């Protein structure tokens, strides 16, 4: 398993009855036995020692607690309840030999019901929940009791099957009034991760591999399902595209059925799959069942998309009241939207805002650089919601509706921002493309405010100057005007010389 947080679950090994209580003695010193007749007035006790399955043939000693090192992996927080076994409304009388004859073949009722044959269960006597050492003790008067596992933490998959104990217990030709029971459990796990994101635009698929080791179990599997309910911002992919493997090899398709109902994807083992799980005593225990759930990102929202899978063991009806599912660890994938202002060079405020500029967006060579200002474009243009080009509109804003930022699994884990590069490919009418068309930008989880990235400006296209205006043209006009005036003066003088003087009177 990886270092990421796992949610560990336990699977009950089955009943620990009278015969199982009297297995091979542990290394602990057995308690002195009482011999002779039963002391009906004596108060005894029951101590439950709760462990995971052990890789050993050692069994617990009914007369003593285990010695240090006998067993490992205690299970804390499990609750047991003792119920007096009654016949005709009264507790079994252990001074009556017939009661012992009956007990020899008595089987606990399923789901903590009374044994068959007209027996009933008396008032419940709850044990405290098991400690960090997996131990719980209760004082009990002489009698016969059915012991049931009646509460457990959320990570307990199956409760131990009920078992019967007597106070005192017969043991090595004597009687044990302080009884020790060892109902062991198996451990399973469900772990979730995220595949490294390859496509980084809205409309990309996010894949969530979920791994479940098949737990060791002494019980028959009646149900085995792995379920993922996707966030509404993820559209589930088709059921046929959900991959299921065991130890890296594709699982026989007849062993499971995949259904998609709304946001819920369920991989449920069929009768053939359960038969495979039940082959021999734990034939497939430890095998890694892996399901890759997946969804298409259709919306960003606040940018944080959380995901948790569930394991449903031995609960074919998916009834959470019967047996709640075991949740995996939570994983998160982070997304953001981008907005950048486009304007004419030399303008500020609401003046000079430019619509019609066309851009592409690219991943950066170093997407998680501390400073994105030096980001360099990498690869092909990113496809976002089916498009690779984005045009400034409204108030001159270039909007890119969804870009990947980070996730909670792959480097850089839970990064709050990611570098991208915009490339201007078409300028607005009347403006020229910048000499350097690439602009580095920063995308943050959620929505990146306009002020958080540099504005992108365009310069107007130059046009030919009007003819004979300004500069040399103006001087020519002036000189032409002066010349024309001089000619006019000369002609006037000449005309006056040619006109005869008027006669004197």
Q: Are 352 and 343 in contact (CB under 8 A)?
A: yes
What is the model's pLDDT at position 342? Answer: 96
pLDDT above 50: residue 464: yes
pLDDT, tens digit, for every residue of 76-118? Answer: 999 999 999 999 999 999 999 999 988 988 999 878 999 998 9
The answer to whether residues 383 and 413 belong to one domain is yes
Q: In the listed set 168, 185, 202, which residue is the last one of a domain according to the structure?
A: 185
C-alpha 211/C-alpha 193 separation (Å) is 9
Mean pLDDT of the region 296-324: 92
Q: Are 378 and 362 in contact (CB under 8 A)?
A: yes
Q: In the listed set 287, 308, 329, which residue is the last one of a domain according to the structure?
A: 329
Pairing state of beta strands 79-87 and 119-121? antiparallel
* Residue 153 belongs to a domain: yes
The single-letter DSSP state of residue 219 is: S
The answer to whether residues 239 and 116 belong to one domain is no
Tokens 């009264």 found at: 90
The three-class DSSP label of residue 65 is coil
Q: Are 16 and 160 in contact (CB under 8 A)?
A: yes
Q: How far apart are the first and last CA of the chain?
A: 137
Q: In the listed set 185, 215, 242, which residue is the last one of a domain according to the structure?
A: 185
**pTM reported for the whole predicted model:** 0.71
Higher pLDDT pick, 504 / 424: 424
What is the model's pLDDT at position 28? Answer: 43
The answer to whether residues 249 and 314 belong to one domain is yes
* Residue 470 belongs to a domain: no
What is the model's pLDDT at position 448? Answer: 85
* Residue 222 belongs to a domain: yes
The answer to whether residues 181 and 198 belong to one domain is no
pLDDT, tens digit, for every residue of 188-244? Answer: 679 999 999 999 999 999 999 999 998 877 678 899 999 999 999 999 999 999 999
Q: Kindly indicate the confidence band of residue 505, based on its pLDDT and cuts at 50, 70 and 90.
A: very low
The answer to whether residues 196 and 294 belong to one domain is yes
| HSE-up (13 A, CA, CB side) for residue 19 | 5
* Residue 16 belongs to a domain: no
The answer to whether residues 125 and 50 belong to one domain is yes
What is the model's pLDDT at position 7? Answer: 40
* Residue 477 belongs to a domain: no
* Candidate from 62-71, 155-164, 194-203 with smallest mean pLDDT: 155-164
The answer to whether residues 177 and 195 belong to one domain is no
pLDDT above 70: residue 381: yes
Mean pLDDT of the region 266-293: 92
Q: What is the CATH number of the domain that holds 222?
A: 2.60.40.740
* Residue 2 belongs to a domain: no
The answer to whether residues 178 and 210 belong to one domain is no
Q: What is the CATH number of the domain that holds 159?
A: 2.60.40.10
* Residue 252 belongs to a domain: yes
* Residue 177 belongs to a domain: yes
What is the model's pLDDT at position 494? Answer: 47
Q: Compute the mean pLDDT over every residue in the chain, rounded to the nearest whole number.
A: 85
Q: Which residues does 237 contact at the CB level (< 8 Å), separation at least 6?
A: 205, 294, 295, 296
Phi, psi torsion values for 185, nearest 5 degrees: -125, 160
Measured torsion, CA atoms of residues 23, 26, 32, 34, in degrees rounded to the nearest 10 = -10
Domain count, the chain: 3
The answer to whether residues 181 and 195 belong to one domain is no
Domain of 355? 334-458
C-alpha 55/C-alpha 366 separation (Å) is 49
The single-letter DSSP state of residue 52 is: B
What is the model's pLDDT at position 2? Answer: 42
The answer to whether residues 323 and 373 belong to one domain is no
pLDDT, tens digit, for every residue of 421-432? Answer: 999 999 999 999
Q: What does each C-alpha distance from 384 to 208, 298, 417 come to in angstroms?
A: 21, 10, 18
CA gyration radius, the chain: 42
Mean pLDDT of the region 358-370: 98
The answer to whether residues 105 and 163 belong to one domain is yes
The answer to whether residues 199 and 96 belong to one domain is no
């Amino acid at each position: 398993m990886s270092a990421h947080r796992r949610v560990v679950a336990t699977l009950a090994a089955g009943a620990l009855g009278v015969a199982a209580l009297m297995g091979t003695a542990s290394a602990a010193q057995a308690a002195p036995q009482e011999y002779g007749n039963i002391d009906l007035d004596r108060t005894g006790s029951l101590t439950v020692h709760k462990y995971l399955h052990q890789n050993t043939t050692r069994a617990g000693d009914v007369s003593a607690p285990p010695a240090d090192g006998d067993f490992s992996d205690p299970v804390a927080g499990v609750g047991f309840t003792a119920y007096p076994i009654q016949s005709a409304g009264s507790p079994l009388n252990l001074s009556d030999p017939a009661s012992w004859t009956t007990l020899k073949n008595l089987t606990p009722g399923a789901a903590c019901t009374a044994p068959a044959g007209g027996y009933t269960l008396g008032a419940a006597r709850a044990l405290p929940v098991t400690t960090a050492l997996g131990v719980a003790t209760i004082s009990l008067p002489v009698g016969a009791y059915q012991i049931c596992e009646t509460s457990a933490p959320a990570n307990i998959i199956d409760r131990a099957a009920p078992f019967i104990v007597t106070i005192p217990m017969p043991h090595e030709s004597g009687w044990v009034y302080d009884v020790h029971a060892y109902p062991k459990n198996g451990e399973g796990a469900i772990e979730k991760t995220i595949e490294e994101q390859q496509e980084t635009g809205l409309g990309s698929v996010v894949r969530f591999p979920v791994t479940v080791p098949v737990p060791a179990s002494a019980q028959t599997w009646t149900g085995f399902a792995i379920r993922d309910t996707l966030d509404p911002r993820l559209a589930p992919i088709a059921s046929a595209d959900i991959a299921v493997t065991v130890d890296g090899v594709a699982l026989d398709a007849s062993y499971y059925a995949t259904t998609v109902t709304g946001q819920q994807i369920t991989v449920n083992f069929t009768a053939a799959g359960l038969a495979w799980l039940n082959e021999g005593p734990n034939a497939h225990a430890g095998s890694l069942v892996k399901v890759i759930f997946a969804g298409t990102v259709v919306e960003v929202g606040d940018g944080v998309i959380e995901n948790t899978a569930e394991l449903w063991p031995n609960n074919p009806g998916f009834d959470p009241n019967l047996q709640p599912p075991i949740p995996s660890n939570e994983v998160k994938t982070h997304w953001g939207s981008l907005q950048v202002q486009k304007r004419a060079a030399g303008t500020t405020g609401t003046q000079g805002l430019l619509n019609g500029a066309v851009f592409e967006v690219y991943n950066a060579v170093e997407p998680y650089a501390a400073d994105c200002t030096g980001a360099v474009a990498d690869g092909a243009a990113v496809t976002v919601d089916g498009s690779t080009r984005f045009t400034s509109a409204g108030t001159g804003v270039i909007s890119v509706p969804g870009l990947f930022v980070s996730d909670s699994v792959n480097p850089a884990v839970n990064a709050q921002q990611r570098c991208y590069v915009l490339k201007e490919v078409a300028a607005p009418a009347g403006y020229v493309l910048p000499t350097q068309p690439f602009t580095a930008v920063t995308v943050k989880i959620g929505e990146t405010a306009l002020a958080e990235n540099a504005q992108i400006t365009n310069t107007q296209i130059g046009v030919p100057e009007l003819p004979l205006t300004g500069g040399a043209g103006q001087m020519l006009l002036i000189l032409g005007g002066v010349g024309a005036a001089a000619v006019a003066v000369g002609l006037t003088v000449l005309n006056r010389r040619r006109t005869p003087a008027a006669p004197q009177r």
